[in-house]
Structure 1
Amino acid sequence: MLERFFLKPRTIDRIMGSWLGKDIELYASTLFETGYSARSILRRVPILVQFADFTDTRRIHDLSLAESLIDSFVDHWLSSHCIGAHPGLRQRERSLARCTVRHFYSLIVWKSDYQKRKAPAADPFVVEAPGFFSYLREERGLRPETLYQYRHHLRRFAVYLGHVGCADLRLLSLPVVTGFITTTAQEVNYSVMVGLASSLRVFLQYLRREGLLERDISKLVEIPQRYRLADIPRSISWEAVQKVLDQPDRRTIVGRRDFAMLLLMVTYGLRAREIAALTLDDIDWKRDRLHVRERKADHTTAYPLAPAIGEAIVDYLKNGRPDVSSRVLFWRHLAPRTALTHSAVASSATKYLHKAGITVRRPGSHTLRHSCVQRLVDSGFPLKTIGDYVGHRSASSTMIYAKVQVDALREVALGDGEDLR
């Protein structure tokens, strides 16, 4: 396997002559099989060879014992390879050396997939109210995404309590809670305040239920009022949509993939999560149908497969999608080969909106979804039909698009007003 990447026999002998030689060769083979480029492998193998030399000089030939020397090796690596380098380069090289050795241990030694992630922070108030997040998860049945929001808001609350010197939750009072809400409202927007106030209410109710508070002050926490149909959908004109569709370079793998995803957003109004969940089995080529199974409202929708979308997907399948056993439709183009997440799908839409020079509040996949719905409204389709088409859970979600007729208002503003008599 090493002959694929190293031309000189003495280089291969140098690698295989180290006490980690066979493991390094296995690591290079694994990287190649999972889609890593030759350039990436050529950068990683020398680091592992020097790690083997570093541990060998200390007479350590046991993988478990050598793992404790990773940080020392990284410092040694920097001192010999980054002399006089600027801080940014030193940081990149430090990250490369550490991640390479950690990745080697995960794949070859521990037989797992290493992911560079920060260690998860502890739940807030885990000592003061240890059962709160179990209560949210088991009794209220909240999803992990919702629990993440609770953690975020309550960590902010914990920091505030530390600043005001209220370490004991039994001493918590309404003025302290009000002070926290007032202070936070100056730093975050309206939608964040709604979630924060709601999370705080549930937390205070739990404290009262567990006897940590003498009285229930949760009802005194006011949630900011949100008026029905107050917002305006952040859709863009159909000319702007076409400009976005022109941005992907369809000569490349990424361009073919992203073009197909953008078409799904603007044609069917699919959410990023729904696109990420599509599989090869969801496309019925014989009947020209596209099945969207994992919708927000827990139902399935079958769409006619538009010829343009079918052609874009076929182009991606033939000339872009990696040869993998999984049935997931859209994949990363860089190693490691993994299916696209909904965050990656949304980020892709944001990227092309920026490239097209389109300014919109909170650009992303929902911008194109809103544009799809707005076009259907402007074409005169019934709101119930539109709601079913795009998978709205409630009719009120579709009604908001009917309150603003931008083109009609523009004609009134530019006209002479005679039609208003």
Structure 2
Amino acid sequence: MKCTIHGAVVLSRPPEGPLAAYIAPFARSLSEQGYREGSLKQQVRIASGFSRWLEQTGVGVRSICADHAIRYLRYRTRHIRPRRGDRAALRHLIDFLHLEQLTPAEQVVSPRLSSTECCVQAYVTYLREARALATATIVNYVPFVRAFLNDRFGQGRVTLSRLCAGDVVRFAQRQAPRMQPKCAKLLTAALRSFLRYARYRGDITLDLSAAVPVVANWSMPSIPRGIAPDQTRQLLASIDRRSGTGLRDYAILLLLARLGLRSGEVVSLELGDIDWSAGRLSVGGKSAQRNELPLPADVGKAIATYLIRGRPRSTCRRVFLRARAPITGFSGPSGVGSVVRHAIQRAGIDAPTRGAHQFRHGLATEMLFHGASLSEIGELLGHQHPQTTTIYTKVDIKALRTLAVPWPGDVQ
């Protein structure tokens, strides 16, 4: 006797086994996450087959673990031709059972951390909770700090009170010459940060951060590579806004171009951050600071159109959601970078880069060209230090040569 699950999946017989009562709720959960009918059918049929196998092997709901999923896939392969997505379907089912507290969370035995790793983890906690630094900054600092501690203490116990200026100088002098200037400056910044942390803890009394050598490097060595205004207009015009994905991408690109937001700021934007009546946007910037920005009419219209006509139904509070299941916010800034990269490729534009930051540079350069002050530019871009904004005052000599008037007469 056939059985229909969630009005979409037809099984040759009703579900059997310990998971029979949970197949329909599982299907409903998948539907709410935005999985399409084809994927929904595959996952429900896998779950039904898994439940029958559990009954045959005498495994109850409370005993299910990831190992049972692996064993079932091996069993299934001997009887049915495997399909792409079978393993993911079972993983979704196991996650659903854990989420519904039907199966106990698996106990993962963590390996014992070394003395160096314990010190690094404590430093990471300090950066995240006390300093509220961005995840990207923490990720950049940690490898240098770990290398410094391993260089000084090896596999032994880390005793920060034994550090001296010579340790710091020797490590920096050995490592910096092998690196590009930008990477070497990041190394010295990480060392200063860690040594200030060690002093904050009371492990050292001297300010060893002052012993970190300064990496020789020209201030503002390169000119920001900003996308040109006509390229931005061409890119926006190329977006197909007849689909939900197109409406989303258009709104994202407008935010980048008109407000100069960072990728991470676009990703973390939530529905409650938009004050429609006041026409303002609250943006979470670096170091957990929030910037209040005016919401231009065209940007507000693009976001509103996406929310009304293009955004999938979801309990997620993020403004911009993935186009494919599971329907949730982007996992990180790379999601916005992917939107920019594919849009530029489709439009066939010879942009300075394929990244999202070029819109930020392009906006700042255009504002400066039209007479905006550095303080105004810095306020819009959320710069914490005025020196960060001064990079846009650099002149592109190569571009200016194309505008130079030939000198009259022959060269003497």
- Uncovered stretches (5+) of structure 2, i.e. residues with no partner: none
1:260 aligns with 2:263: no
Partner of 1:73: 72
Partner of 2:7: 4
State the identity %. Answer: 26
1:395 aligns with 2:386: yes
TM-score by length of 1: 0.75
Aligned length: 395
- Using a 3 Å threshold, how does the CA distance of structure 1 residues 411 and 185 change in structure 2: closer, same or farther? same
Q: 1:243 aligns with which of 221, 228, 234?
A: 234
- Residues 307-365 of structure 1, C-alpha deviations (whole Å, 9 max, x = no match): x334322331222012345654222222223234551223322332344343535x422
Q: Which amino acid aligns with 1:198?
A: A
Worse-matched range after superposition: 57-66 or 248-257: 57-66
RMSD: 4.2
Q: Which amino acid aligns with 1:315?
A: T
CA separation in 1, counterparts of 2:91 and 2:397? 52
- Uncovered stretches (5+) of structure 1, i.e. residues with no partner: 84-88
Q: Which amino acid aligns with 2:52?
A: D
- Using a 3 Å threshold, how does the CA distance of structure 1 residues 66 and 316 change in structure 2: closer, same or farther? closer
Q: Which amino acid aligns with 1:103?
A: D
CA separation in 1, counterparts of 2:223 and 2:111? 37
Partner of 1:232: 223
Q: Which amino acid aligns with 1:313?
A: I
1:147 aligns with 2:138: yes
TM-score by length of 2: 0.77
Q: Which amino acid aligns with 1:316?
A: Y
CA separation in 2, counterparts of 1:253 and 1:352? 15
- Using a 3 Å threshold, how does the CA distance of structure 1 residues 152 and 130 change in structure 2: closer, same or farther? closer
Query: SS of the residue aligned with 1:292?
Result: strand
Partner of 2:117: 126
Q: Which amino acid aligns with 1:352?
A: A
Q: 2:321 aligns with which of 331, 343, 349?
A: 331
CA separation in 2, counterparts of 1:301 and 1:216? 37
CA separation in 1, counterparts of 2:272 and 2:130? 36
Partner of 2:97: 105
Q: 1:315 aligns with which of 305, 310, 322?
A: 305
Q: Which amino acid aligns with 2:280?
A: L
Deviation at 1:258, TM superposition (A): 0.7
Partner of 2:13: 13
1:260-299 to 2 correspondences below 5 Å: 260-283=251-274, 285=276, 289-296=279-286, 298-299=289-290
Q: Which amino acid aligns with 2:243?
A: T
Q: Which amino acid aligns with 1:72?
A: R
Q: Note if contact 1:353-1:364 (Cα within 8 Å) is conserved in structure 2.
A: no
- Residues 22-72 of structure 1, C-alpha deviations (whole Å, 9 max, x = no match): 111110011112322112211211222222232222222333245552332
Deviation at 1:77, TM superposition (A): 3.7
Partner of 2:155: 167
Q: Note if contact 2:320-2:329 (Cα within 8 Å) is conserved in structure 1.
A: yes
- Using a 3 Å threshold, how does the CA distance of structure 1 residues 74 and 315 change in structure 2: closer, same or farther? same
Worse-matched range after superposition: 292-301 or 56-65: 292-301
Deviation at 1:151, TM superposition (A): 2.9
Worse-matched range after superposition: 19-28 or 319-328: 319-328
- Using a 3 Å threshold, how does the CA distance of structure 1 residues 411 and 353 change in structure 2: closer, same or farther? same
Query: SS of the residue aligned with 2:281?
Result: strand
Partner of 2:57: 58
- Residues 189-234 of structure 1, C-alpha deviations (whole Å, 9 max, x = no match): 4333322233234446767998999999765543423433333112
CA separation in 1, counterparts of 2:304 and 2:264? 21
Partner of 1:86: none
CA separation in 2, counterparts of 1:113 and 1:261? 38
Deviation at 1:82, TM superposition (A): 5.5
Deviation at 1:254, TM superposition (A): 0.9
CA separation in 1, counterparts of 2:253 and 2:54? 50
CA separation in 2, counterparts of 1:262 and 1:120? 44
- Residues 250-291 of structure 1, C-alpha deviations (whole Å, 9 max, x = no match): 22211110101101111122222333344445545556x232
Query: SS of the residue aligned with 2:319?
Result: coil
